[in-house]
Amino acid sequence: MTSSAAIFAIAVLAPLGGSLIAGLFGRIIGDRPAQAITIGLMAAACASAIATLFSGVPQDMGTAVVSLGHWIDAGGFHANWSLRADMLSLSMVAMVTTISLCVHIYSVGYMNHEEMPTYRFFSYLSLFTFAMLMLVTSNDLIQLFFGWEGVGLVSYLLIGYWYDKPSAVAAAIKAFVVNRVADLFFLVGIALLFLQFGSVTYDNIFAVVPAQVGATYHLFGTDWPVFEVIGTLLFIGAMGKSAQLFLHTWLPDAMEGPTPVSALIHAATMVTAGVFLMARMSPLLEFAPGTKTLIVLIGGTTCFFAATVGLVQPDIKRTIAYSTCSQLGYMFMAAGVGVYQASIFHLTTHAFFKALLFLGAGSVIHAIHGEQDMFRMGGLWRKIPFTYAVMWIGSLALAGVFPFAGYWSKDGILEAMWAAQSGPATYGWAMGVVTAFITALYSWRLIFLVFHGTPRDAHLSEHAHEGGIAIVLPLGILGVGAVLAGVLLDRFYIGTAQAQFWQGSIVNGAGAAVMNRMEEVPGLIALAPSIAGLLGIAVAYLAYMARPELPASLARSLRPVYLFLLNKWYFDELYDVLFVRPYRALARILWKGADEGVVEQVPVGLARLTVGTAVQAARTQSGSIAIYAFTMLIGLVVLTTTLLFVH
């Protein structure tokens, strides 16, 4: 193992060490040392990751694999523990460790009012990071699935961290179950990949992909292209993790967890896994045009859907949660037209400003003692000016205003959508532009409601104050990232230097042409998202500052629409009717009818029959010699008769 490989291994494994030490020995060593150790190891991981990213991968290879050991060797099936170092994984590792470090530091300040020891929390945070790092550095689909499930597990643990709160436990279970549904499809996809290619290692699969384009499954009387089937299954898996439409219902509920967890889930770990999977499997997806169309449609719709719902939510964290859902829609759209670079770019910039927004929101919540309803806030900007400033930065980045981070990446995605020049892509572009307007609208709705106007609850805002250095420092770092990430990375991620930067870790088939055309997009089209964003800010100012009575009257006059949005398009209710209730009914039938009625009744009935017969049998013993003798003679007659019949 060379020194660079060792450094890369530190980046991935240090969080595991932190998690184990804090988790297993936290009770002994105490809270503060546990926090210090996890943060220290996380910082080491972050430094190693950035160092590795700057040194890059060996020029001629494009990919380096650090082998850690064998895992499964069964017949022709091999899976190893290994760390894959290509530019895709390196950039992900650097981003994940940076965000995670900020969240770790922030948690020290945020969790200081907890009554329970918090070593468990820090252990989970580090484990969460480790699982995500295993996911992005996997060299085969099995290790990727390991990380995938690890992320799912720890998200369950963290969302339900306050396990004495029933709503938190319910949200944790919901997140886990919804993810399991998606994981089932993903797992089938992996199994089909193994069947088709005889291997689960990326390089082995990608090497033979072009040769097997024509392969089909014959099922239900039709031929199904293998790559479309596999691609769709993988995409459904990604939909679950990345909360795309139809499998998004867990994401808003996940707000039940502590706010740093929300930041981690939404920015660095968990939801980005789906987008990463699309980029990682790009050599395969490029041969599945049907799947890509599906991705564009789902992504575009999610983008619009989540933004509309976010527009009416009263809860500050839920508003930001829907914005994540919406931004993930952008990333999938880009993947759907084959410009994975743009989706990873947006993923990275989004990580900075979304973590910033969440931690800023956490700072607000922390300042006013746990209140999350924006309609009870107001006028806070004087009390917590630093938070106010970073929320502005985060919102400007989210809305895609030049020169903040979001501008570069969102602009890239929308240009790619336009340049793709196909029906679905144009639909995605339209959705994206409309959503850019709504995004700006709900972002400034949040800012105006929370920070401006008169305090609606004087008691709440009275004692509001900034958090300590542990809260301010990460906000500062992320704020810098939210400003600069776009302008600095644009050239490498999607700009002129992208080919040298990615070094083939992302494959563009048809997308390559789109990449080239992106620069030739007409000026007005390129400006559209910016205009939409500024328009959104103006409308928000009008509605929430200039004429605050307007939204209420609008909600009254358009009550059905308002309720439709407030109830998240009734997805939870729909699923309740479609899945939960029929399943409950079926389970009840099986429980009451099949189990209690049949399975349980059989032994009970047999026992009853036995006892009844037993009492009758014992009753024959009357004590009378005459009856005894008679019985013997009857027996003799029976035996004789039997013999005569047989004879």
**Counting contacts by CB under 8 A, is residue 618 touching another protein?**
yes
CB of 594 to another protein, least distance (A): 24
What's the rounded Cα separation, in Å, for the pair 130 and 203? 23
**Counting contacts by CB under 8 A, is residue 639 touching another protein?**
yes
Q: Give the nearer residue to another protein in terms of CB position, either 24 or 629.
A: 629
**Counting contacts by CB under 8 A, is residue 611 touching another protein?**
yes
CB of 628 to another protein, least distance (A): 4
Q: What angle do CA 537, 540, 541 make, to 5 degrees?
A: 90
Q: Can you tell me which of 30, 423, 582, 635 binds another protein, judged by CB under 8 A?
A: 635
Choices 86-94, 144-152, 186-194, 610-618 (CB under 8 A): range interacting with another protein: 610-618
Q: Give the nearer residue to another protein in terms of CB position, either 32 or 608.
A: 608
Rg (alpha carbons) of the chain, rounded to whole number: 30
Q: Can you tell me which of 2, 216, 601, 642 binds another protein, judged by CB under 8 A?
A: 642
Q: Which of residues 479-508 bind another protein (CB under 8 A)?
A: none
Amino acid 6 reads A
Q: Give the nearer residue to another protein in terms of CB position, either 67 or 641.
A: 641
Q: What angle do CA 59, 63, 66 make, to 5 degrees?
A: 120
CB of 595 to another protein, least distance (A): 22
CB of 603 to another protein, least distance (A): 11
Alpha helix (H) ranges present in 58-118? 87-110
**Counting contacts by CB under 8 A, is residue 632 touching another protein?**
yes
What's the rounded Cα separation, in Å, for the pair 279 and 300? 18
CB of 609 to another protein, least distance (A): 10
CB of 646 to another protein, least distance (A): 6
Tokens of 18: 């932190």
CB burial string 206-235: b at 16+ within 10 A, e below: beebeeeeeeebeeeeeeebbbbbbbbbbb
Task: Give the H/E segment covering residue 225.
Answer: strand 222-225
Strands (E) across 76-212 are located at: 77-85
What's the rounded Cα separation, in Å, for the pair 339 and 305? 23
The residue count for binding another protein (CB under 8 A) is: 27
Choices 82-90, 306-314, 529-537, 612-620 (CB under 8 A): range interacting with another protein: 612-620
**Counting contacts by CB under 8 A, is residue 621 touching another protein?**
yes
Residue (of 320, 192, 301) closest to 251 by Cα position: 320
**Counting contacts by CB under 8 A, is residue 589 touching another protein?**
no
Contact (Cβ atoms closer than 8 angstroms) between residue 188 and residue 253: no
What's the rounded Cα separation, in Å, for the pair 349 and 481? 8
Q: Give the nearer residue to another protein in terms of CB position, either 591 or 628.
A: 628
Contact (Cβ atoms closer than 8 angstroms) between residue 543 and residue 550: yes
**Counting contacts by CB under 8 A, is residue 602 touching another protein?**
no
Which positions touch another protein (CB under 8 A)? 610-611, 613-615, 617-618, 620-621, 623, 625, 627-629, 631-632, 634-636, 638-640, 642-644, 646-647
